[in-house]
């Protein structure tokens, strides 16, 4: 057998070295570990997000057609490294970085008794929106609007709307996930339908979203991690 230890060590020495080693080891490990794990600590322990918890404007509801979705691009500011708020405030002339998310908006589609598609576009929208909206109008819009993330529920590729003879569908370019106009799951590898943004409609007839998903759906809650 290979003999590593030439001088025998007493139990006391062993414990002493063990304790000393643990202390020194911890002192040497904690700073670099905390340094690189900083963002994980910020997000999970301190509950901070890189995107400020605000409402961001998506676009006017009046531009969403009756039977097709419309895509808006929202630029969410990102607080990271050199685009961190503090850094920018200090007068360094770096424009803050943004993360651009495509938001698919559409009017809810339902299947009527005879199998025909009913598009739930509010009549006052169809005849031309006149801001400011009343509370009833806002409620009606909120109840019938889809505000979907373009990020595929499978692995996050951006889905796009494909026009077909009898309407269309959302198709994911990566592995062929398919969703209907409401973001419901139709086919392919995604485990659920498209994610909806947390949104609100305001008097100015615009949609506003937060940088978070409203988790629902029949497959149970699922945390989206990359948006």
- Under the rule (CB under 6 A), what is the footprint of ligand FES? 152, 154-157, 172, 174-177, 188-190
**CB-nearer residue toward ligand FES: 60 or 188:** 188
**162, 169 Cβ separation under 8 angstroms:** yes
CA distance 103 to 133: 22
155 touches other proteins (CB under 8 A): yes
Beta bridge partners of 166: none
Name the pairing type of β-strands 167-171 and 160-164: antiparallel
Cβ atoms < 10 Å from Cβ of 183: 24
Phi and psi for 60 in degrees, rounded to 5?
A: -75, 145
Q: How far is the CB of 158 from other proteins (least distance, A)?
A: 7
Q: How far is the CB of 196 from ligand FES (least distance, A)?
A: 17
Site for other proteins in 80-119 (CB under 8 A): 80-83, 97, 99
Collapsed DSSP state (helix, strand, coil) of residue 211: strand
Strand segments, DSSP code E, in 70-127 are 70-77, 98-107, 109-111, 117-119
Quick one: tokens of 154? 């499978």
CA distance 71 to 94: 29
Instruction: Tell which one of 9, 37, 66, 73 touches other proteins (CB under 8 A).
Output: 37
Choose one: 111-119, 134-142, 156-164, 213-221; the region binding other proteins (CB under 8 A): 156-164
49 binds, among other proteins, ligand FES, none (CB under 5 to 8 A by kind): other proteins
Q: How far is the CB of 189 from ligand FES (least distance, A)?
A: 5
Q: How far is the CB of 76 from other proteins (least distance, A)?
A: 8
Choose one: 55-63, 72-80, 131-139, 179-187; the region binding other proteins (CB under 8 A): 72-80
Residue indicated by tokens 């509950």? 47
Residues binding other proteins (CB under 8 A): 36-37, 39-40, 42-44, 49-51, 76, 78-83, 97, 99, 151, 154-158, 174, 211, 223, 225-227
């Amino acid at each position: 057998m290979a003999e590593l230890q030439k001088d025998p060590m007493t139990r006391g020495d062993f414990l002493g070295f063990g304790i000393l080693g643990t202390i020194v080891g911890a002192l040497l490990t904690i700073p670099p570990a905390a340094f690189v794990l900083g963002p994980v600590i910020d997000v999970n322990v301190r509950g901070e997000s890189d995107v400020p918890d605000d409402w961001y404007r998506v676009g006017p509801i009046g531009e969403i057609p009756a039977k097709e979705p419309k895509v808006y691009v929202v630029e969410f500011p990102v607080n990271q490294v050199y685009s961190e708020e503090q850094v920018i405030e200090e007068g360094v002339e770096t424009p803050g970085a943004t993360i651009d998310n495509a938001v698919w908006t559409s009017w809810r589609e339902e299947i009527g008794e005879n199998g025909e598609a009913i598009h739930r576009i509010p009549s006052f929208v169809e005849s031309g929106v006149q801001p400011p909206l009343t509370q009833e109008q806002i409620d009606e819009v909120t109840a019938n609007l889809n505000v979907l993330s373009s990020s595929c529920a499978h692995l996050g590729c951006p889905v796009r709307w494909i026009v077909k003879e009898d309407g269309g569908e959302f198709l994911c370019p990566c592995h062929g996930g398919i969703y209907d106009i409401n973001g419901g799951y139709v086919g392919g590898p995604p485990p659920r339908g498209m994610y909806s943004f947390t949104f609100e409609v305001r008097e100015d007839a615009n949609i506003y979203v937060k940088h978070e998903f409203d988790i629902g759906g029949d497959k149970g809650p699922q945390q989206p991690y990359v948006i």
